[in-house]
Every structure is written in structure tokens, then in C-alpha cells.
A and B are shown apart, each in its own frame.
Chain A
Amino acid sequence: NAGVTQTPKFQVLKTGQSMTLQCAQDMNHEYMSWYRQDPGMGLRLIHYSVGAGITDQGEVPNGYNVSRSTTEDFPLRLLSAAPSQTSVYFCASSYEGVKSYEQYFGPGTRLTVT
């Protein structure tokens, strides 16, 4: 059981470039989400999904796109990278139901936009 995996671990982009951060989980969790972590601001929710084909915006969605074609995968796309998107990105997943809300986090992707 690999849990939640994220690739890449580190990435440097130039302003205006696009890229996709990958997230996968093998726990058959319905709920998946993306957070960004910035110093002093904790983690802020970017987008989330309650199941395949269903996504919604979180607190800071601008500049990011997501899709959920399978239960396992939840990629995050940066459409045109900006220095303000320099951050550490975490993907998380959880069950719905009795054990819901206990979210399992991936190892993170550290992104620098120059």
C-alpha cells in the first residue's frame, strides 16, 4: 500500500510555463484534494473532488485546474505559472462515511517559479 504519492518532488518553472503535478492514491478513497503550504499561512485548499468526474474549487483556485477521470488520480495543472505560485503543494485523500475527514497526505511537491 503506497498511500498517497506525488510527482515530481521538486520543480522549477519559468513564469508563463505550464505543468501538471501528479497525485495518485491506492486506498480507493473517494475524496481527494490539493493544498498549497506557504510560511505562516498553514495549508490552503486549492481544489477538491468527491469522486471521479466531480471537482470543485477551494479557497485559492485561481491559476489552477484539476480533473478526476479515475478514483486513483487527481492531477493539478498550472496553466501559466507565476512567482506567486511558488509554494509546497500537498495532495490528500480520505474516505467518505464514518472514517471520513481523516485525510492522508502525500510527501509534497516543492515548486519554484522564477
Chain B
Amino acid sequence: AQSVSQHNHHVILSEAASLELGCNYSYGGTVNLFWYVQYPGQHLQLLLKYFSGDPLVKGIKGFEAEFIKSKFSFNLRKPSVQWSDTAEYFCAVNPNNAGNMLTFGGGTRLMVKP
């Protein structure tokens, strides 16, 4: 079955550490890729998205993600995390032939220690 995998379920970092969250998907065709963030008690917000073009995309709050087609990956990165980045992060995939439907990964809970 087609799926989205986030292998890190929980990540704990100290402030100023670098962050990389993995996301792999199993769709064979063209896809649109997203990272959403859910801060404690809040609803999901879009961090960044990839539709086409430059595979390195920059989002809000200093986040970026790199699409590597050969690895079916879309990893999220941030050079220096802050306490306010504590949240749950979701990778989502939309196959080009699937309308607006999103398939989400299981999420990664990030805790940043001050």
C-alpha cells in the first residue's frame, strides 16, 4: 500500500542544536509534498511545500526541506532550533493524480529543551 513514513517518533534536542526529521513515501509517480506543524493545543499549520522546481524549499520560521526523488524522501531541516519549535511535525504527500487528497505520516514529536 502507498504510505508515508516518519521514522523518528520522538526527538529531544537542546536549543541551538540542528534538526533533521526524516520523511519517506512510497508513491511511484509525481507527488506534491508538504510539512505541517502542530504546536501544543493548536491546529495544523503549513510549514512548507514542494510542487516542482528547486528541490530545496524554504518555509516559515527558518525551516527548509529537500526533495530527493531517487530516495523518495522529503526531509525537514532547521540549522538551530528554539524552544518555541516544540511541536509535532507531519509530513504529507499528495500524488498528482489524487486530486487534493493528502496522506500523512505518523508524525514526529519534537521537544526542545531550553
Q: Is A44 an interface residue (CB 8 A)?
A: yes
Q: Is A43 an interface residue (CB 8 A)?
A: yes
Please state if A101 and B94 are interface contacts (CB–CB under 8 Å): yes
Please state if B44 and A90 are interface contacts (CB–CB under 8 Å): yes
Please state if A42 and B100 are interface contacts (CB–CB under 8 Å): no
Please state if A101 and B100 are interface contacts (CB–CB under 8 Å): yes
Range of interface residues on chain A? 20 to 34
In angstroms, Cα B2 to Cα A59, docked, is 12
**Contact pattern, B 46-81, Cβ under 8 Å of A = 1, otherwise 0:** 100101000000000000000000000000000000
Smallest CB–CB gap between B98 and chain A, Å?
10
Residues of A within 8 Å of B100, CB to CB, are 31, 33, 48, 50, 94, 96, 100-101, 103
| Neighbour of A31 across the interface among B6, B99, B105, CB < 8 A | B99
Q: Is A41 an interface residue (CB 8 A)?
A: yes
Interface residues in A57-73 (C-beta closer than 8 Å to B) = 58-59
Please state if A90 and B43 are interface contacts (CB–CB under 8 Å): yes
Residues of B within 8 Å of A31, CB to CB, are 99-100
Residues of B within 8 Å of A96, CB to CB, are 100
Please state if A40 and B101 are interface contacts (CB–CB under 8 Å): no
Report the number of A-B residue pairs with Cβ-Cβ less than 8 Å. 59
Known A-B contacts A43-B90, A58-B101; the reply to A102 vs B106 at CB < 8 A is no
| Neighbour of B104 across the interface among A44, A94, A106, A107, CB < 8 A | A44
Q: Is B12 an interface residue (CB 8 A)?
A: no
Q: Is B9 an interface residue (CB 8 A)?
A: yes
Smallest CB–CB gap between B89 and chain A, Å?
11
Q: Is A105 an interface residue (CB 8 A)?
A: yes
In angstroms, Cα B48 to Cα A3, docked, is 19
Residues on B facing A (Cβ under 8 Å): 4, 6, 9, 32, 34, 36, 42-46, 49, 51, 90, 92, 94, 99-107
Residues on A facing B (Cβ under 8 Å): 31, 33, 35, 40-45, 48, 50, 58-59, 90, 92, 94, 96, 100-103, 105-108
Q: Can you name 10 extra interface pairs (CB under 8 A) apart from A59-B103, A101-B32, A101-B100?
A: A40-B106, A42-B4, A42-B90, A43-B92, A44-B104, A45-B101, A101-B49, A103-B102, A105-B45, A107-B43
